[in-house]
Structures are given as structure tokens and as C-alpha cells.
Chains A and B, each alone.
Chain A
């Protein structure tokens, strides 16, 4: 079983919609989590860090639920420019800093 799992999608949503992605992780020792965005044929770039207390940045909200071992990303008022693949990422194991990615969820925002 892969350590970080996420729904590959694709998610096709109209402009202005709210969309949510979830990601589960299997290693309870994992400490730090992030959401990255990857555009076609480009390198992944950090979208936001994920904290237990929740993290909001404009239209984006990330949440970590340690009890259920899942991470979520909520995008409100979707824009065409949000179309990309969203990657859930975690550091596996205390102190090992092995960075593990989910397979990514593809989002297409439609006019």
C-alpha cells in the first residue's frame, strides 16, 4: 500500500464552484504535510503547508486530521487558472525526512 493515497480524479468543475480533495496517509509517524500544484510538464510548486489547526490562504483551505490520518484541500470560487494537478505530500517517518507524494489529483475548471 502506498504511503500517501489520493483520488486521481479527474475533477471537472465549472468556474466558481467549490471543490475538495482528500488524501490519506498510512504512516502515523509522519509529521509534516503539504499540498503542491503541478502544471503540465512543469515542476511541482508548493501551494500550502498543512497544519492540524487548519491553514487558509485566500480561496484555499488545507486541513490535517491526525486521528483519521487524512489531509484535505478546499478550493472556493474556482478559477480557470486553478486547472492543474494537485499533489499531497508527506514526510515519512520521524527523522528520516523521506518525502513521499500521492499520485496527484487532476483538476479542470471549465468556463
Chain B
């Protein structure tokens, strides 16, 4: 057990509604990451955090925001969900440039 949990695991939401995904870790990892995975694109980095209140954009950050108020929690928010944000979202965490551990993923469907 890598100590990374994501919630919810599955969600269906309507276009235009806000959605927040939560990633929680218990191993005091400094770095945390949010990815989305879509067929033909692999894992694409949305945002990442290198400490409490320290975050930066990844390659597909438009339409997403993040917050990290505590070491153990990294929240991903879709301010106004669109159908193009239907995807599988993975959270990961690492100490530094070492092995990253993943949560089990959140399957989000925007209808």
C-alpha cells in the first residue's frame, strides 16, 4: 500500500458544474502530481506541487486549478466542467527525484 488515496473513485457530472478531486497521502511526500490519461495521449501532467502552497502548471493546465494547504492533501478543481475533461485522473506523490507512487485513479465523466 503506497498510502495514496483518491476520492471520489468515480463521478458523473454535468457540463458547467464545478468538480473537486481529492488526493490524500500518508507518507509525507513533498511532491504531488495530478495527471489525466486519455487514449492515444498517455499520462499528461496537469499541475504539480513541490510543497505546501507551492504549485506549478503542467502541460495541460487550462481549465484546472489546484490547492495544497497541507502536505497530505492535493486538490484538483475543474471550475466549470466540460466534456473534453472526461478522463481518468491519477494523483501521484514522491519524495524528490525518486520513485513516484500513484493513487488508484478517478474516472470522471462530464455529460
Contacts and interface: CB of A to CB of B under 8 A. Distances in A.
Contact of A97 (B31, B99, B103, B105): B31
* Interface magnitude class on chain B: 20 to 34
Contact of A43 (B45, B96, B103): B103
Contacts of A21: none
Interface string A76-102: 000000000001010100001111111
B99 A49 contact: yes
B43 A87 contact: yes
Interface residues of A, number: 21
Contacts, number: 55
A93 B87 CA distance: 27
A103 B45 CA distance: 12
Give the secondary structure class of B's interface. Answer: strand
Interface string A54-72: 0000000000000000000
Interface in B22-49: 31, 33, 35, 40-45, 48
Nearest to B105: A43
A98 B58 contact: yes
Contact of B48 (A49, A98, A101): A98
Contacts of A87: 42-43
Contacts of A52: none
Contact of A44 (B41, B50, B90, B94): B90
Nearest to B33: A99
B56 interface: yes
Contacts of B99: 34, 46, 49
A31 B80 CA distance: 37
A104 B42 contact: yes
Contacts of B104: 42-43
Interface in B69-95: 90, 92, 94
B63 to A, nearest CB: 19
Contacts of B48: 97-99
Contacts of B97: 31-32, 91, 97
Interface of B: 31, 33, 35, 40-45, 48, 50, 56, 58, 90, 92, 94, 96-105
